[in-house]
Amino acid sequence: MRKCMSRYEVLIFDADETLFDYTRGQAYALEKSLTKVGIVFDPIGHIDLYKHINDRLWKELEDGKIDRAALRNERFKLVLDEIGCTSADPAAVSDDYLNELGNAGFMIDGAIVLLEELHKHFRLALLTNGFSQVQHGRIARTNTAVFFDAIVISEEVGCQKPQREIFDLLLDELGHENRRNVLMIGDSLSSDITGGVNAGVDTCWYNPEGIQCPAEIVPTYIVDDYDGIRKIVLG
């Protein structure tokens, strides 16, 4: 590992919409799983419907209002009800969706180059709330495990972002104690940035859409592209 003039030694990356192109993967998996049960796929209406339901349930999961098993099946029950498909089994559709999502090894343009570059200078870690089978599938298909000194998936450890405990587990796995030289990088204010704040580490909000940050959440940095991350950590 080559030294560089940076205040950081450990960079923790979120997976979905920070490195992995979840939007593209979601559309791919949704089309595959709905078509399999005879639904004529609407690439706009069905994606918007699923996203609305899925985002709401993931927020409830982060807030501790539902568990992962409930989210896994309830989102497809609600989607199928809205579409009017009463013959399909939501659990089976969910299984197909997760399998296809694990096959969707799409990354955001430039993500591999970024990891290759930063891996030379820092210890990198991946911290995700995503389903285990999905994340392992995509990591394997993109050969990205080689870049990370630790990979922690919430489903496998019994806690999730934004809880401090999952950051504690990750840093323990790395054997790293000094939180002042740790940076959490992610696209979600509610899980990545709030989680990093809870854990006492600096945070970088990856915000390519230019969304306005609410006053109650204060990331250490806000960037709109990967070059912004490079400027922070490499100078």
Active site residue ranges: 14
CB 220 within 8 A of CB 204: yes
Closest CA to 192 of 166, 210, 169: 166
What is the strand order of the sheet 150-153 is part of?
150-153, 123-128, 10-13, 182-186, 202-206, 221-223
CB 61 within 8 A of CB 71: yes
Closest CA to 233 of 184, 197, 174: 184
How many CB atoms neighbour CB 31 within 10 A?
17
Give the chain's count of helices (H) and strands (E).
10, 6
Q: Tell me 143's DSSP state.
A: T
CB 66 within 8 A of CB 138: no
